[in-house]
Amino acid sequence: MGNEKIRLAIMAPTLNLCNYLFGVEQGFFRKEGIEVEVIVRPGLRNTQAVAQGEADFGAANECVIQTALHGPTDLRILLQVLKDPMHDLIVQPEIQNLQDLRGKRITIPGSGSTPEIQTRLFFQKNGLVPDRDVFLDPQVPPDTMADRFRKFEEGVYAGLIASPPTPFLLHAKGFKSLTELSTHFPGTASHGLVTTTATIESRRPMVEAVVRGYVRGVTALKEDRGAAIEFISRHFYLEPSLAARGYDLLKDRWTAELSLELLRTEIAFQARNAGVNPITPDTITDSRFFRIR
């Protein structure tokens, strides 16, 4: 009997979710009888893919929260896999400060995503009203992360919001980062392992196997620096020194836990942004899996 095939939707194939990619390539899911197909669905499309059955699992905790703030949802967060995702504001060489972006266009990840929300709030806090003083263009299908990267390099955009390793690659070409967004909004975002109540109830052994495969993979990623850097260097086409830099930036952010306290902070952040009352973490989590090792 062959391995059970599942689909995992991630927001982008970056270092933020390298923990999933490492676990898949290194065979940690396969050892649990799971064959993982990774698909890319940014922003709200991530959890929509899960809710609509296109994917078995997603990673966008923020989108689970946003959905639940507007009514009951069958989506459930099983784990936090990344605390405080990293996103740089990268600009053209001639841009010296935020005020130089007045009247300019910036390409950002999809609507509803952590970086989209944080970018808007960051500019507001710094006196630039989004879509009046600075123009933010969210990624929409069929555009990809690579398309945004290319258009920024071509000068179509004055700024780009991107995760590692993209900032490393662009810095080498003379572009620069003005800031990294998570430093302004600590504790307000995480990525995770998301599925539906129906999947949990009908395929619980598979869900447990996926959790176990992830946990063992991320544990190896954090404990074996050499193997991790080799993977990052090869997978993202980085010099070993840049791969090591990326690993060191993210190592302590990758995790396998379910912190209701952290989720309360995230929920409060999203509720304030949406202008609605917060929900309680127990309405969007299933705590039966986070102790699996």
Query: Residue 1 has what pLDDT?
Result: 60
Structure tokens, 253: 């952010």
42 and 17 in contact (C-beta within 8 Å)? no
Q: Where are the alpha helices (DSSP H) in 92-189?
A: 114-125, 145-153, 166-171
The number of CA neighbours under 13 Å toward the Cβ of 251 is 15
Q: Are residues 152 and 17 in the same domain?
A: no
Answer whether residue 290 is part of any domain.
Answer: no
Domain boundary pick from 123, 155, 183? 183
Tell me the pLDDT tens digit for each residue of 220-272. Answer: 999 999 999 999 999 999 999 999 999 999 999 999 999 999 999 999 999 99
Residue 216 reports pLDDT greater than 80 = yes
Answer whether residue 292 is part of any domain.
Answer: no
* Four-residue CA torsion sign, 228, 234, 237, 240: positive
Q: Are residues 80 and 109 in the same domain?
A: no
**Mean of the per-residue pLDDT values for the chain?**
96
Domain that holds residue 119: 88-183
Q: Is residue 171 classed as helix, strand or coil in its secondary structure?
A: helix
Q: Taking the model in full, what pTM does it have?
A: 0.94
Answer whether residue 291 is part of any domain.
Answer: no
Query: Residue 251 has what pLDDT?
Result: 98
- Higher pLDDT pick, 5 / 113: 5
Residue 202 reports pLDDT greater than 90 = yes
Q: What percent of the chain has pLDDT over 70?
A: 100
| Section 271-287 average pLDDT | 97
Q: Are residues 16 and 103 in the same domain?
A: no
Domain boundary pick from 183, 208, 243? 183
Query: Residue 110 has what pLDDT?
Result: 85
DSSP per-residue letters across 28-74: TTGGGTEEEEEEE--THHHHHHHHTTS-SBB--HHHHHHHHHTS--S
Q: Are residues 148 and 99 in the same domain?
A: yes
Q: H or E stretch including 77?
A: strand 75-83
Q: Are residues 175 and 96 in the same domain?
A: yes
Q: Are residues 66 and 207 in the same domain?
A: yes
Residue 134 reports pLDDT greater than 70 = yes
What 8-state DSSP symbol labels residue 156?
Answer: S
Answer whether residue 240 is part of any domain.
Answer: yes
CATH number of the domain encompassing residue 92: 3.40.190.10
Answer whether residue 288 is part of any domain.
Answer: no
Q: Are residues 19 and 74 in the same domain?
A: yes
Answer whether residue 22 is part of any domain.
Answer: yes
Q: What is the number of structural domains in the chain?
A: 2
Answer whether residue 174 is part of any domain.
Answer: yes
| Section 144-158 average pLDDT | 93
Q: Is residue 8 classed as helix, strand or coil in its secondary structure?
A: strand
Q: Quote the Cα angle for 189-11-276, to 5°.
A: 40
Q: Are residues 76 and 211 in the same domain?
A: yes
Query: Residue 145 has what pLDDT?
Result: 84
Q: Are residues 273 and 136 in the same domain?
A: no
Q: Which residue from 107, 75, 67, 103 is spatially nearest to 88, judged by alpha carbons?
A: 107
Tell me the pLDDT tens digit for each residue of 88-133. Answer: 999 999 999 999 999 999 999 988 788 999 999 999 999 999 999 9
Residue 140 reports pLDDT greater than 90 = no
Domain boundary pick from 127, 155, 183? 183
Q: Which residue from 262, 266, 250 is spatially nearest to 218, judged by alpha carbons?
A: 250
| Section 38-65 average pLDDT | 96
Q: Is residue 285 classed as helix, strand or coil in its secondary structure?
A: strand
